[in-house]
A and B are shown apart, each in its own frame.
Chain A
């Protein structure tokens, strides 16, 4: 719901390309100083939405407000936003200094003042002394920083980033993630960050909008999205999830009694409105919320028996696939520690007990997509 005191308001914005609906009635409010991510797979509409914020596309319907002003009809060069492009778009015929200084011309900043600002920007992205280099002399990570400096030198209130870290290798990407977050917080400007990498979005954002098929599925903090996904699609997109078919057999006092195939009768606390006796629902539980042991655990009343199909030791934790009778897909378990009797080990073929805390189980409406 777009609230009135938000810095950016996207009100019922849709974008159609011919018969293709790229963005479908998106409604978001973003606060000043927020690190806001648009997360989704390719084709979900996140880049189109970003481009509409920048002014490179116009919404087919709906309106975008930045700092209270309506943006329709406002061309990109007059908007208070600046963008870091996916391919960086560094001007090949200008050196680094002139690239970064490019946006100062329209602000009428020249001479000594311009040089000062460029030096400041270079310092901000840790590229001091790179002014004379040309774009073909820069590595991927360096070009990314130049693109960032070039956008930030105009001191925008809103910075739009279109998958800026996609082309970098893993280590560099992680470094840049930390730097970006630190930068955003020290500058206290709004970052709108497009990515398909859910770990990245989770690590950096104040809030995430999970998008699919042009719509926003859920807009919330990373923690809430992770622990309380609104439907199976969101749950599956963020992190790993085990889904179990279940039917409701009883309802009382904010608790539901479920019959889960292979797992028996389980209690879940939920006040969801779609719950009725006899309804088919999805029970879901994160792999890391499950514990494994070779004997039936005495301290937990939630447990089920199974056989290990696959085991992978990853140093800090182990991943298991456990076959449970009544479930056709194996249950994924990510355990930091396993309880094993001395002399025993958990390998392929071992019989194990899976246990979990009652509040770890989430209920999702099966019908909602």
Chain B
């Protein structure tokens, strides 16, 4: 107690609350892997023995494989394109003085605050009026729409974190815009690019609503899962799939957040 300044004295009840809060946050989700190993069709206590049946069942499911591949394709495409758009956008916003910049950026960030169902419905209407058939491409477009704000936000932070004069120095030393971009800008914002790619991929991979509205006969993984939820016999293998997805997204997002926050002033570090 003597070692810590008075203002920072530990607060035991709050510490207990923090643990309870984290438990509340994580335990519901941890039931999925828990019951995925349970030897029973029913997702209920008491537990009835360990089995990997459901995992085997899941792994053998052809339809699931197809949906998984679709999700990966859509995820890869949306994350790459959204990140590219985010890089250009972030560079434009942080390096150039543009009149009307604030409202324009606000518009780009709009998808963050608009319910996805509205974005999905609106895009569906436009596509149908234009006669464009629904497919994985239309899903990709929808995902790009919702990923761009996240990509911009991540990259704006990164761009603001490094000094403009680096690019000016590159120009001074003979590089035109294109070369300076590849030799100076990209290496310096690279962690941000990586974080944006990971983040956008995760968002697209897990996204359900827009995909639901913009899909045709080729489902993405979340759409596939949604369909399976109607069949009780399929539930445990859905849990197995869910558990796998959970673990992978945990790991991916953990690293993405680590990368994007490390070395930037996005969030202040602990200062004593």
A residues at B contact (CB < 8 Å)? 17, 51, 55-60, 75-76
**A46 CA / B234 CA spacing, docked (Å):** 71
Residues of chain B with a CB closer than 8 A to A56's CB? 5-7
Q: Verify B7–A58 contact, CB threshold 8 A.
A: no
Q: Verify A75–B3 contact, CB threshold 8 A.
A: no
B267 CB within 8 Å of chain A: no
Closest to A61 in B: B2
**A60 CA / B5 CA spacing, docked (Å):** 12
**A244 CA / B7 CA spacing, docked (Å):** 49
Nearest chain B CB to A359 CB, angstrom units: 49
Q: Verify A55–B2 contact, CB threshold 8 A.
A: no
**A59 CA / B5 CA spacing, docked (Å):** 11
B1 CB within 8 Å of chain A: yes
The contact of A76 among B1, B2, B6, by CB within 8 Å, is B6
Q: Verify A55–B6 contact, CB threshold 8 A.
A: yes
Q: Verify A60–B6 contact, CB threshold 8 A.
A: no
Closest to A55 in B: B6
Nearest chain A CB to B111 CB, angstrom units: 33
A sample of 15 cross-chain residue pairs with beta-carbon separation below 8 angstroms, ordered by A number, consists of A17-B3, A51-B5, A55-B6, A56-B5, A56-B6, A56-B7, A57-B5, A57-B6, A58-B1, A58-B2, A58-B6, A59-B2, A60-B2, A75-B6, A76-B6
Chain B 1-23 near chain A by CB (<8 Å), digits 1 or 0: 11101110000000000000000
Residues of chain B with a CB closer than 8 A to A58's CB? 1-2, 6
Nearest chain B CB to A14 CB, angstrom units: 11
Residues of chain B with a CB closer than 8 A to A17's CB? 3
Closest to A17 in B: B3
**A140 CA / B5 CA spacing, docked (Å):** 27
Closest to A15 in B: B2
Residues of chain B with a CB closer than 8 A to A76's CB? 6
Residues of chain A with a CB closer than 8 A to B1's CB? 58
13 A-B pairs besides A57-B5, A60-B2 with CB distance below 8 A are: A17-B3, A51-B5, A55-B6, A56-B5, A56-B6, A56-B7, A57-B6, A58-B1, A58-B2, A58-B6, A59-B2, A75-B6, A76-B6
